Structure 1
């Protein structure tokens, strides 16, 4: 069912863990699925809370339990839905980490500098070129890392200005790609070809040694953290590929891009999700006033 809805492997694994957590709790308490009522559901929520899970994790795990019991009712495998009278658990909305334009440029320039250095050897240089191409693609388009890693090898030929991306729910959308990104992709493909002697047939971002293997999300996360350290960014351990998506959206919105347009570019189902970037703008304004306003500076030195 999850794959039919276009869920990623990572999402499926997360929901599987959530479901296993619930089933393990039932087993620990010698309870069957048909014995669960509202009181037991409250006990389960209390157990989750007692394990110091983040409130967003608790909310997601309750959502999975709701889905399980609704499925049992739909398949006539359960007598009642114990979650039907439970109030909805709202997930707290956290503002994502957003790099400034200067920080984003520092990250990208660090990646490009390594990709331009042949003294590291062809294998490592090709890896650095792939890194620079991936970062540029994410920041140019605002696509999700899962979307970037599923791009086909012929997705961005020279001169490409728009990419067709397959997003959540198997929905397609067009995203922008500027000249610097296409140039970075071309360099990556040139060096990868020079190293392996063969052109990739499937993936745009693939293993340097084996072009039939796509770059993994885990490898992409490690690479951007390495680059964040090299670029001297604050809290590099908190930098992830998704941060470049947030940077794209925030910088585009700050530059005057309408929310509805941004919604289409990001592939959000509703504009409500996109509205977080208006909060980010407000948050950054408050920080700028706090850090840069001369009266605040005088107060701090008083």
Structure 2
């Protein structure tokens, strides 16, 4: 029987002399070795903790795991329920967790803590790269959210409108949104702008459209008034709670679903901040924004990811045949 070593794997491995320091937290060392946002780091910590917990329950030493063990873990994940949704984990979620585990093991291989990556030959779930499980929103539904936000009479209403505008008009990830500081707002070449750290730790910047800038400025003006300081003296997080703490992603999830419920949107309890990111991509493409510009705005490394976000990409109204025929007709008329 293989012994259970999940809590003390790192200490024993270090005792073998595989690394110069003891004890070494492999997971933290692995995370420090990668450029990741804090949200992604936290997700990866949970992913690896989930694997170590499963290993402990299976009386399995993670350093001796094979692809058969990883397959067993994957099947257990597929039978697990997401506590946030009450539904089984999606194939995409399981694939993401296994991808994190593979990266972790690849790091251990480089440290010579394990001879090979057991995830490499594991049976990963097949994910349709042309489909996203996120529930999208139409432009009219996004407008309905704004109507509900502007009708809100709570003291937090200006913040709610600002959150909605930043998500809908910039297509930000929720982690990017809640990480914004007041100091990230600025002016560049006659544009109002915002700087932030995107996925992969990449420094990014986006322009704020006049209407978006206006609702953000209004929120900051109300916040400054409540704190009895000039707007110029506001510091710290851009979006804060009533106690001045940074707004967290869970509060944003609740906010979007409350607005969707108030707006009478179907499946409001399945919507998320990511639904607005999908809506951003779909609307931008429908308005004729080139795919590469939408890709850059969303910070996607692969244009296929951007296309997956575009829920209207199969709309026959956008079939290139119409443009080709119209161009031919125009040439004939001009000839």
TM range (shorter): 0.7 to 0.9
Partner of 1:215: 247
Shift of 1:255: 0.8
Shift of 1:284: 5.8
Pairs within 5 Å for 1:154-165: 154-156=183-185, 160-165=191-196
Partner of 1:109: 147
Q: SS of the counterpart of 1:205?
A: coil
Gaps of 5+ in 1: 118-123, 287-302
Distance 2:306 2:253 in 1: 24
Q: Write the deviation string for residues 192-242 of structure 1: whole angstroms up to 9, x where unpaired.
A: 1222213421222122332xx221111111111111111111111122222
Partner of 1:153: 182
Pairs within 5 Å for 1:165-176: 165-176=196-207
Structure with the bigger percentage of helix = 1
Partner of 1:73: 109
Partner of 1:38: 67
Distance 1:223 1:50 in 2: 30
Q: SS of the counterpart of 2:182?
A: coil
Match among 126, 129, 143 for residue 172 of structure 2 = 143
Q: Write the deviation string for residues 91-134 of structure 1: whole angstroms up to 9, x where unpaired.
A: 334253221111111111221232xx5xxxxxx42x11011011
Distance 1:110 1:66, change over 3 A: same
Q: Write the deviation string for residues 148-184 of structure 1: whole angstroms up to 9, x where unpaired.
A: 2222214446985433332122223332322211111
Distance 2:71 2:182 in 1: 50
Contact kept, 8 Å, 2:186 with 2:192, in 1: the verdict is: no
Gaps of 5+ in 2: 1-29, 81-87, 318-335
Contact kept, 8 Å, 1:152 with 1:204, in 2: the verdict is: yes
Distance 2:162 2:76 in 1: 45
Is residue 2:118 matched to residue 1:96? no
Match among 57, 61, 79 for residue 28 of structure 1 = 57
Distance 1:188 1:157, change over 3 A: farther
Shift of 1:14: 2.5
TM-score when normalising by structure 1: 0.80
Shift of 1:30: 2.1
Distance 2:31 2:300 in 1: 19
Match among 264, 268, 278 for residue 232 of structure 1 = 264
Pairs within 5 Å for 1:280-299: 280-282=311-313
Match among 226, 240, 257 for residue 206 of structure 1 = 240
Match among 210, 219, 242 for residue 274 of structure 2 = 242
Distance 1:206 1:3, change over 3 A: farther
